[in-house]
Chains A and B, each alone.
Chain A
Amino acid sequence: MKLINIFKISLGVAIISMATSCETYLDVNENPNNPQDAPISGLMTNATYETSLNVYRIGSITSNYVQYLASPNPGTSSDIMEPINYSGTWFSLYDVMTDLTDLIRKAEESGANHHLGAGKVLMALNLGMTVDIWGSVPYSEGFNFTSVTPVYDNDQQLYTEILSLLDQAIANLSGPTSISIGGDDFIFNGNVSKWIKFANMLKARNLLHTSGSASYNPNEVLTALSNGFTANADDAKVDFFEQRFNPWAQIAINNQNLLLGGWISTQFIEALDGTSYPASDPRLPLMVGRTNAGQFVGVENGAGRGNAPESGARSTLIPGQFYTSTQSPVLIATFAEQKFIEAEAAFASDKGRAYQAYLDGISAHMQMLGVSSVAQQAYLQDPSVSMGEANFTIDAVFKEKWVALFLHPETWNDARRFDYGYKDMTTPQNLNPALNGQFIRRLAYPDSEVSRNGKNVPEVTLLDRIWWDQ
Chain B
Amino acid sequence: MKRRFTNLVLFFTLFVLAIPVNAQQFTVKGKVTTQEDGGPLPGVSVLIRNTTTGTVSDIDGNFSLNLPTGNETLSFSFIGFETQNIAVGNRSTINVVMRQDISQLSEVVVTAFGIEQDKKALGYAAQSIGAEAISRTKQANLVNSLQGQVAGVQVTNSGGAPGQSARIIIRGINSLDPSADNQPLFVVDGVPVDNSTIESSGTPRGLTNRVADINPNDIESMSVLKGAAATALYGVRAANGAVIITTKKGKEGQVRVDFASSVGFDEINQYPGFQNKYGQGFSGVYDPNSFWPAWGAPISEVAQTVDGHRYQDNWRGAMQTGVQIDNSVSISGGSEKATFYGSFGRLDQEGVIPFSDWDRTTAKLSGQIKVSEKFNFAGSINFSNSGGKRVPHDRFMERLVYWSETTDINDYIKPDGTMVSVGSNTNPLYDARFATYEDDVNRVIGNISFNYSPADWVTFSYRLGNDFYSDSRTEITPGPKGIDGEQALSATGFLEETRINSRDLTSNFYVTLKKQFNDDWNTTLRFGNDVFERKFDRLTSRGENFVIPEFYNLSNTSQIFANQGKSIRRLVGFYGDLMVDYKNLLFLNITGRNDISSTLPKDNNSFFYPSVNLGYVFSESVSLPSWITFGKLRASWAQVGKDTNPHILGATYSSPNVFPLNGQVGFTRFSRFGDPMLRPEQTTSLEFGTQLAFFDNKIGLDVTYYKSNAKDQIIPVPVSDATGFSSYVTNAGEIQNDGIEIVLNATPIKRGDFRWDVTANLSMNNNEIKSIREGIDEIVLGSQFGYVGSTVTMKLVEGQAYGNIYGSSYQRYYANGTPEGLQVLDRNRPQIIGANGFPLRNANQLILGNAVPKWFGGLRNQFSYKSFDLSMLIDFRTNVEQYNQFDNFLSAFGIAKYTENREESIVFDGVLADGSANNQEVWLGQGVGPDGRNYGAGFYRNTYRGVSENFVQDASFIKLRNITLAYNLSPDLLEKTPFRTARFSVAANNIILYTPWDGFDPESFSAGAGGNAIGFTGLGFPGVQSVFFTLNLGL
Cβ contact within 8 Å between B667 and A43: yes
Cβ contact within 8 Å between A99 and B669: yes
Q: Is A94 part of the contact surface with B, judged by Cβ < 8 Å?
A: yes
Stretch of A28-36, A266-274, A352-360, A375-383 with 4 or more beta carbons under 8 angstroms from chain B:
A28-36
Residue of A at shortest CB range from B936? A74
Residue of B at shortest CB range from A39? B667
**Could you say which residues of chain A place their CB within 8 Å of the CB of B775?**
148-149, 453, 455
Knowing A3-B454, A26-B570, say if A102 contacts B647 (CB, 8 Å). no
Q: Within A1-57, which residues are at the interface with B (CB < 8 Å)?
A: 3, 15, 18, 22-23, 25-39, 41-43, 45-47, 49-50
Q: Per-position contact with A for B569-582: 1 when CB-CB < 8 Å, else 0?
A: 11010100000000
Q: Is B665 part of the contact surface with A, judged by Cβ < 8 Å?
A: yes
A-side interface size class: 35 or more
The smallest beta-carbon distance between B987 and chain A, in angstroms, is 46
Cβ contact within 8 Å between A26 and B597: yes
The smallest beta-carbon distance between A394 and chain B, in angstroms, is 37
Q: Is B655 part of the contact surface with A, judged by Cβ < 8 Å?
A: yes
Stretch of B303-311, B634-642, B724-732 with 4 or more beta carbons under 8 angstroms from chain A:
B724-732
Q: Is A452 part of the contact surface with B, judged by Cβ < 8 Å?
A: yes
Task: Please measure, in the bound complex, the distance between the C-alpha atom of A40 and the C-alpha atom of B596, giving whole angstroms.
Answer: 37
The smallest beta-carbon distance between B539 and chain A, in angstroms, is 12
**Could you say which residues of chain A place their CB within 8 Å of the CB of B658?**
49, 243-244
Task: Please measure, in the bound complex, the distance between the C-alpha atom of A144 and the C-alpha atom of B777, giving whole angstroms.
Answer: 22
Cβ contact within 8 Å between B720 and A31: no
Residue of B at shortest CB range from A82? B789
Q: Within B553-606, which residues are at the interface with A (CB < 8 Å)?
A: 558-559, 561, 564-570, 572, 574, 596-599, 602, 605
Knowing A29-B646, A244-B658, say if A98 contacts B669 (CB, 8 Å). yes
Q: Per-position contact with B for A257-268: 1 when CB-CB < 8 Å, else 0?
A: 110000000000
Cβ contact within 8 Å between B289 and A309: yes
Cβ contact within 8 Å between B724 and A257: no
Task: Please measure, in the bound complex, the distance between the C-alpha atom of A256 and the C-alpha atom of B424, giving whole angstroms.
Answer: 11
Q: Per-position contact with B for A114-154: 1 when CB-CB < 8 Å, else 0?
A: 00000000000000000000000111011111111110000
Residue of B at shortest CB range from A130? B722
Q: Per-position contact with A for B787-804: 1 when CB-CB < 8 Å, else 0?
A: 000000000000000000
Q: Per-position contact with A for B718-748: 1 when CB-CB < 8 Å, else 0?
A: 1111111110100000000000000000000
Task: Please measure, in the bound complex, the distance between the C-alpha atom of A45 and the C-alpha atom of B602, giving whole angstroms.
Answer: 35
Cβ contact within 8 Å between A32 and B667: no
Q: Is B673 part of the contact surface with A, judged by Cβ < 8 Å?
A: yes
Residue of A at shortest CB range from B793? A447
Knowing A50-B668, A143-B723, say if A32 contacts B661 (CB, 8 Å). no
Task: Please measure, in the bound complex, the distance between the C-alpha atom of A451 and the C-alpha atom of B797, giving whole angstroms.
Answer: 11
Task: Please measure, in the bound complex, the distance between the C-alpha atom of A452 and the C-alpha atom of B728, giving whole angstroms.
Answer: 11
Q: Within B750-790, which residues are at the interface with A (CB < 8 Å)?
A: 775-778, 780
**Could you say which residues of chain B place their CB within 8 Å of the CB of A29?**
598-599, 646-647, 649
Task: Please measure, in the bound complex, the distance between the C-alpha atom of A285 and the C-alpha atom of B724, giving whole angstroms.
Answer: 44
Cβ contact within 8 Å between B777 and A451: yes
Cβ contact within 8 Å between A453 and B722: yes
Cβ contact within 8 Å between B723 and A31: no
**Could you say which residues of chain A place their CB within 8 Å of the CB of B728?**
145, 148
Q: Is A216 part of the contact surface with B, judged by Cβ < 8 Å?
A: no
Residue of B at shortest CB range from A184? B664
Residue of A at shortest CB range from B426? A258
Knowing A143-B722, A145-B673, A148-B775, say if A244 contacts B661 (CB, 8 Å). yes
Task: Please measure, in the bound complex, the distance between the C-alpha atom of A38 and the C-alpha atom of B666, giving whole angstroms.
Answer: 9
The smallest beta-carbon distance between A4 and chain B, in angstroms, is 9
Q: How many residues of B contact A (CB 8 A)?
A: 67
Q: Is A277 part of the contact surface with B, judged by Cβ < 8 Å?
A: no
Residue of A at shortest CB range from B605? A26
The smallest beta-carbon distance between B602 and chain A, in angstroms, is 8
Q: Per-position contact with B for A142-171: 1 when CB-CB < 8 Å, else 0?
A: 111111111000000000000000000000
Knowing A36-B650, A184-B664, say if A142 contacts B723 (CB, 8 Å). yes
Task: Please measure, in the bound complex, the distance between the C-alpha atom of A34 and the C-alpha atom of B648, giving whole angstroms.
Answer: 10
Q: Within B440-485, which residues are at the interface with A (CB < 8 Å)?
A: 454-455
**Could you say which residues of chain B place their CB within 8 Å of the CB of A141?**
722
Q: Is B523 part of the contact surface with A, judged by Cβ < 8 Å?
A: no
Knowing A31-B647, A46-B668, say if A144 contacts B491 (CB, 8 Å). no
The smallest beta-carbon distance between A251 and chain B, in angstroms, is 13
**Could you say which residues of chain B place their CB within 8 Å of the CB of A98?**
668-669, 724-725
Task: Please measure, in the bound complex, the distance between the C-alpha atom of A310 and the C-alpha atom of B717, giving whole angstroms.
Answer: 43
**Could you say which residues of chain B place their CB within 8 Å of the CB of A424?**
none
**Could you say which residues of chain B place their CB within 8 Å of the CB of A109?**
none
**Could you say which residues of chain A place their CB within 8 Å of the CB of B26?**
none
Q: Is A90 part of the contact surface with B, judged by Cβ < 8 Å?
A: yes
Q: Is B529 part of the contact surface with A, judged by Cβ < 8 Å?
A: yes
Q: Is B659 part of the contact surface with A, judged by Cβ < 8 Å?
A: yes
The smallest beta-carbon distance between A339 and chain B, in angstroms, is 30
Task: Please measure, in the bound complex, the distance between the C-alpha atom of A453 and the C-alpha atom of B663, giving whole angstroms.
Answer: 39
The smallest beta-carbon distance between B572 and chain A, in angstroms, is 6
The smallest beta-carbon distance between B649 and chain A, in angstroms, is 6
Most buried by A among B455, B652, B722, B723: B722
**Could you say which residues of chain A place their CB within 8 Å of the CB of B937?**
74
Knowing A22-B572, A34-B670, A241-B662, say if A310 contacts B424 (CB, 8 Å). yes
The smallest beta-carbon distance between B356 and chain A, in angstroms, is 25
Q: Is A350 part of the contact surface with B, judged by Cβ < 8 Å?
A: no
**Could you say which residues of chain A place their CB within 8 Å of the CB of B718?**
448, 451-452
Q: Is A459 part of the contact surface with B, judged by Cβ < 8 Å?
A: no
**Could you say which residues of chain A place their CB within 8 Å of the CB of B564?**
33
**Could you say which residues of chain B place their CB within 8 Å of the CB of A46?**
656, 659, 666-668
Cβ contact within 8 Å between A186 and B662: yes
Q: Is B654 part of the contact surface with A, judged by Cβ < 8 Å?
A: yes
| CB < 8 Å neighbour of B721 from A31, A49, A90 | A90
**Could you say which residues of chain B place their CB within 8 Å of the CB of A144?**
724
**Could you say which residues of chain B place their CB within 8 Å of the CB of A23?**
602
Cβ contact within 8 Å between A94 and B667: no
Knowing A28-B570, A32-B647, A310-B291, say if A142 contacts B598 (CB, 8 Å). no
Q: Is A454 part of the contact surface with B, judged by Cβ < 8 Å?
A: yes
Q: Per-position contact with B for A84-107: 1 when CB-CB < 8 Å, else 0?
A: 000000110011001101100000
Cβ contact within 8 Å between B596 and A26: yes
Q: Is B653 part of the contact surface with A, judged by Cβ < 8 Å?
A: yes
**Could you say which residues of chain A place their CB within 8 Å of the CB of B667?**
35, 38-39, 42-43, 45-46, 99
**Could you say which residues of chain A place their CB within 8 Å of the CB of B662?**
183, 186, 241
Residue of A at shortest CB range from B492? A253
Task: Please measure, in the bound complex, the distance between the C-alpha atom of A147 and the C-alpha atom of B723, giving whole angstroms.
Answer: 7
| CB < 8 Å neighbour of A91 from B655, B656, B726 | B726
| CB < 8 Å neighbour of A45 from B289, B654, B659 | B659
Q: Within A225-279, which residues are at the interface with B (CB < 8 Å)?
A: 241-244, 253, 256-258
Most buried by B among A30, A31, A138: A31
Knowing A50-B668, A99-B668, A309-B289, say if A31 contacts B491 (CB, 8 Å). no
The smallest beta-carbon distance between A261 and chain B, in angstroms, is 14
Q: Is B100 part of the contact surface with A, judged by Cβ < 8 Å?
A: no
Task: Please measure, in the bound complex, the distance between the C-alpha atom of A146 and the C-alpha atom of B215, giving whole angstroms.
Answer: 54
Q: Per-position contact with B for A179-204: 1 when CB-CB < 8 Å, else 0?
A: 00001101000000000000000000
The smallest beta-carbon distance between A426 and chain B, in angstroms, is 21
Given pairs A28-B569, A148-B723, 20 additional interface contacts (CB within 8 A):
A18-B529, A22-B572, A31-B647, A34-B652, A36-B653, A38-B667, A42-B667, A43-B666, A45-B659, A98-B668, A98-B669, A138-B720, A139-B722, A145-B728, A147-B723, A183-B664, A184-B664, A242-B559, A256-B491, A451-B780
* 6 A-B contact pairs sorted by A residue (CB < 8 Å): A15-B574, A23-B602, A31-B652, A137-B722, A143-B723, A244-B661
Interface residues of A (CB under 8 A from B): 3, 15, 18, 22-23, 25-39, 41-43, 45-47, 49-50, 74, 90-91, 94-95, 98-99, 101-102, 137-139, 141-150, 183-184, 186, 241-244, 253, 256-258, 309-311, 448-449, 451-455
The 3 closest A-B pairs by CB, nearest first: A46-B666, A42-B667, A38-B667
